[in-house]
Chains A and B, each alone.
Chain A
Amino acid sequence: MSALVRWGIPAAVVAVCVGYLIYSASGGSTVYYVTVSQLRSQSPAGDVRVAGVVANDVQKSEGGLHVTFTEKDGTDTLPVEYTGTLPDIFQPGITVVAEGRLGKDGVFHAQTLLAKCPSRFSTKPYTQ
């Protein structure tokens, strides 16, 4: 048995297994990543992640564990409802990514809410 065969076969087996794992795992856990206006125009089925800016109408209840607000981009808006702890930097004007689905009531029910966190050291670029 040549070296190529002896080492090639296990390599091929590992490669096939990894390929299968990637294929099977991505089946259930890929979601669309869209902006608010894309969600409005395409209305993809199932769970989606929607990125947008938090509008100035944040309403908190239950000590901040339940929140409703409007997510907007340049053209469209989306009412969002979420239960859970909010990211620290959550406030009107920041970009958030809500993952969940659009209900029949026209409200986006988010299971997770991520805020874009400042990986920059500064608060904002300095403009004169």
Chain B
Amino acid sequence: MILGYLGAGALLAGLVLGGFSALLSFFAGWRQADVFIQVGRRAFYAAAAMTAIAAVLLEVALLTHDFALAYVVEHTDLATPMALVAAGFYGGQEGSLLYWTLILGALGTASLVTAASLGGRVLAYATGILASILTFFLFVLAVVASPFDLLTITPPDGLGLNPVLRDGGMLIHPPVVLAGFAAFAIPFAFACAALMAGRTDAAWIRHTRRFALLAWSLQSAGLLLGMWWAYHVLGWGGYWSWDPVENVALMPWLATTAYLHSSQVQEKRGRLGNWNFGLVILAFLLVVLGTFIVRSGVVPSVHTFAISAIGPWFLGFLATCVVFSGALLALRIGVAESRPAEAPLVSREGAFMLQNLLLLGVIAVVLWGTILPLVSGMLGTERVVDAPYYQRAAGPIFVFALALMAVGPLLPWRRAGNATWRALRWPIATAAAVAAPLLATGWGWGAIAIGVASGGVATVVTEYARAVRRKPSVLVIKRRRYGAYLAHVGLLVVAVGIAASQFGQQEKDVTLQRGESVTVAGYTLTYTGSEQQQLADHTEYIAAMRFGDTALAPSRATYAGLGGQALTHVAISTTPLADVYVVLAGTNPDGSASLRVLVNPLVTWIWAGGVILILGVVLGNVGEREMAGELARRRIPITLPA
């Protein structure tokens, strides 16, 4: 009970402090009043601290089973394991918003503490923008959807958690995805602040580089963890279904990927300033759009969205962000550098530019597929697109983007000469050698994608080989570059896994008597019998299968207390080339079992590639901070335009 009051109080205090920080910081930036800038910044820290206090209180309420709080009742019960009770913090709508706000406050604080070198006005405006976003979230939390609402009568137990969600994936996937979204508010805030202050050099990019990388890494990991979870737990044999919930997480990732590349053109060559502002703003708007779509239920999805009062508020927030950033871009676009890009098309700059255009193309494809029900619903009968739409429209663009990963790293800045063409012979030869035999198997675009991805790996290998031959220490000194190449390899491995499993998947639905076998894609499984186990709240039917020397036990649980809801436990046997994936549809009175057997080639490559990708980002940036820190310590005086 008391936790509810304290939590609501902390949220209200945070709301007031955040609003105060926003107003004061904008005013201070406009008047360049140093004292007010300091006060505004500290008010932001205080608001972030209040958010943290509220988060701790909610977690305490969950862990102590304080059923006076509606949120605790609706998301946990006494039987729920403690780890999942703790995860209830971000499991429900209100709690996940609080988690978002917590991350925003923490990362916002980290970005402002280290931002002194950017100059007073940028700092003030960045504080103002971050505080505005924080205030919006705290307003929604305190007024519209509070996790601290109290029940008039305290029930003895909660309602518990749906069995589908009682899984370890629940512990890691949601917080990583949400943190990835929240983190991208930092580059957005500093980009807008730089535009407002008229400081359009690359200083904001350098300052927020780590936050953009963090956001991108978290988004990448979040997407892959979600795929992993769907594949291992949901039991439909795949990992991606182009559902709106997945699409709205993919789009910001694509925009962030584009930005990580184009920002280098500005850092290294001082070009594409306007473009980078546009991309950062686009990425953030896609995050907000995604949040609105997920929270409002405006498009049909397999997921039952928690439709609630916060939908309109997020629409309003989205509209405000669009108008604010659009106006800022329109008014300030002339101020940003408008020197013509001197570089010819065939150059590193050209490759980055083309990559950006391709990724924007994929965003357009996904966005259109996601909002089509909304658009067509306004014009007449609602229509939706199938997975083949995305495969046909986005697939070819992805293949071109993969090809660019083979070519781009070999192109020098400014112009490509004959040496470049010579360097390209290895990736091209590799791509051809890999794609040719696969094309004969009839995989079509899949064969081309795998070939092109192999070419990309060959490119990275030649780059590493060249460095080792000339001066191995360069691998450590220029680790940002070589770490990025490793991340490229990770993504290419993911791409090969996706292409192989999309084009090579085979499946069979069978009913087998005891002792009978089924063969799918050359893999033979034998059904040896079934058993039934009666557990506390569910009955488990287990089919025993033999696959070579391994025993597989796909099972199906039935929860009587939930109206007979079933929960399948997939059995997966991983061989070097493919996963054998067995789903038990049911057991029959005559002792036979009905099964769906899938053979998914190279799915493990997707997870392995994800690990390599994150490793590349981490290795490329460990200790990279020194240089940035050095610049900050020197406190280079900056003259501001009036």
The answer to whether B592 and A17 touch across the interface, beta carbons within 8 angstroms, is no
The CA of A39 and the CA of B42, in the complex, are separated in Å by 59
**B589 nearest in chain A by CB position:** A63
The answer to whether A121 and B381 touch across the interface, beta carbons within 8 angstroms, is no
Report if A86 contacts B (CB, 8 A): yes
Report if B382 contacts A (CB, 8 A): yes
One of A17, A21, A26, A117 near B164 (C-beta < 8 A): A117
A128 neighbours in B (Cβ, 8 Å): 151-153
A104 neighbours in B (Cβ, 8 Å): none
Report if B334 contacts A (CB, 8 A): no
The CA of A115 and the CA of B392, in the complex, are separated in Å by 25
Interface flags for A72-90 (1: CB within 8 Å of B; 0: not) read 0000000000011111111
Interface residues of B in 323-341 (CB under 8 A from A): 340-341
**B592 nearest in chain A by CB position:** A63
| Shortest Cβ gap from B339 to chain A (Å) | 9
One of A2, A10, A92, A121 near B161 (C-beta < 8 A): A121
**B87 nearest in chain A by CB position:** A121
Report which residue of A21, A92, A97 has the largest number of chain B beta carbons within 10 angstroms of its beta carbon.
A21
Report if B91 contacts A (CB, 8 A): yes
B608 neighbours in A (Cβ, 8 Å): none
Q: A123 with B162: in contact, given A14-B358, A34-B381, A88-B566 (CB under 8 Å)?
A: yes
Report if B373 contacts A (CB, 8 A): yes
**A24 nearest in chain B by CB position:** B392
The answer to whether B302 and A126 touch across the interface, beta carbons within 8 angstroms, is no
**A4 nearest in chain B by CB position:** B340
The answer to whether B75 and A14 touch across the interface, beta carbons within 8 angstroms, is no
Report if B568 contacts A (CB, 8 A): yes
One of B159, B364, B564 near A122 (C-beta < 8 A): B159
The answer to whether A65 and B384 touch across the interface, beta carbons within 8 angstroms, is no
One of A11, A62, A64, A119 near B305 (C-beta < 8 A): A119
One of B70, B151, B365, B509 near A85 (C-beta < 8 A): B509
A91 neighbours in B (Cβ, 8 Å): 563-566
The answer to whether B365 and A88 touch across the interface, beta carbons within 8 angstroms, is no
Q: A42 with B381: in contact, given A28-B388, A33-B300, A121-B92 (CB under 8 Å)?
A: yes
Report if B353 contacts A (CB, 8 A): yes
A interface, by DSSP: helix, strand, loop or mixed? mixed
Interface residues of B in 568-598 (CB under 8 A from A): 568, 583, 585-588, 592-594, 596
Interface flags for A28-62 (1: CB within 8 Å of B; 0: not) read 11111110001000101000010100000000101
B384 neighbours in A (Cβ, 8 Å): 30-33, 49
**A63 nearest in chain B by CB position:** B594
The answer to whether B159 and A123 touch across the interface, beta carbons within 8 angstroms, is yes
Q: A65 with B389: in contact, given A14-B358, A51-B300 (CB under 8 Å)?
A: no
**How many A residues, CB 8 Å from partner?**
61
The CA of A52 and the CA of B132, in the complex, are separated in Å by 41
The answer to whether A18 and B365 touch across the interface, beta carbons within 8 angstroms, is yes
The answer to whether B585 and A85 touch across the interface, beta carbons within 8 angstroms, is yes
Report if B79 contacts A (CB, 8 A): no
The answer to whether A64 and B586 touch across the interface, beta carbons within 8 angstroms, is yes
Report if A95 contacts B (CB, 8 A): yes
B155 neighbours in A (Cβ, 8 Å): 126
The answer to whether B304 and A97 touch across the interface, beta carbons within 8 angstroms, is no
The CA of A20 and the CA of B344, in the complex, are separated in Å by 27
The answer to whether A85 and B364 touch across the interface, beta carbons within 8 angstroms, is no
One of A17, A65, A124 near B585 (C-beta < 8 A): A65
Q: A120 with B304: in contact, given A10-B357, A30-B385, A65-B511 (CB under 8 Å)?
A: yes
Q: A22 with B364: in contact, given A33-B384, A63-B585 (CB under 8 Å)?
A: yes
The answer to whether B586 and A30 touch across the interface, beta carbons within 8 angstroms, is no
One of A14, A63, A126 near B70 (C-beta < 8 A): A126
Report if B124 contacts A (CB, 8 A): no
Interface flags for B357-372 (1: CB within 8 Å of A; 0: not) read 1100100110011001
Q: A22 with B393: in contact, given A88-B568, A93-B563, A119-B305 (CB under 8 Å)?
A: yes
**A12 nearest in chain B by CB position:** B357
Interface flags for A106-125 (1: CB within 8 Å of B; 0: not) read 00000000111111111111
The answer to whether B74 and A126 touch across the interface, beta carbons within 8 angstroms, is yes
Report if B93 contacts A (CB, 8 A): yes
One of B92, B382, B568, B596 near A120 (C-beta < 8 A): B92
**B95 nearest in chain A by CB position:** A121
**B349 nearest in chain A by CB position:** A7
The answer to whether B361 and A60 touch across the interface, beta carbons within 8 angstroms, is no
**B588 nearest in chain A by CB position:** A63
| Shortest Cβ gap from B60 to chain A (Å) | 18
Interface residues of B in 85-106 (CB under 8 A from A): 88, 91-93
Report if B73 contacts A (CB, 8 A): yes
Report which residue of A3, A86, A88 has the largest number of chain B beta carbons within 10 angstroms of its beta carbon.
A88
The CA of A74 and the CA of B74, in the complex, are separated in Å by 27
The CA of A117 and the CA of B384, in the complex, are separated in Å by 18
A99 neighbours in B (Cβ, 8 Å): 386
A92 neighbours in B (Cβ, 8 Å): 563
| Shortest Cβ gap from B538 to chain A (Å) | 12
Q: A119 with B354: in contact, given A2-B340, A26-B385, A32-B382 (CB under 8 Å)?
A: no
Q: A84 with B596: in contact, given A18-B361, A121-B92 (CB under 8 Å)?
A: yes
**A120 nearest in chain B by CB position:** B306
- 10 closest A-B pairs (Cβ-Cβ)? A63-B594, A64-B586, A121-B91, A3-B340, A25-B393, A18-B361, A25-B392, A29-B389, A119-B303, A63-B586
Interchain residue pairs with CB less than 8 A apart (9)? A14-B354, A21-B361, A21-B392, A21-B394, A65-B509, A65-B586, A85-B509, A88-B566, A126-B74
Report which B residues bind A (CB closer than 8 A).
Answer: 70, 73-75, 88, 91-93, 151-153, 155, 159-162, 164-165, 234-236, 245, 300-306, 340-342, 344-345, 353-354, 357-358, 361, 364-365, 368-369, 372-373, 381-390, 392-394, 396-397, 509, 511, 562-568, 583, 585-588, 592-594, 596
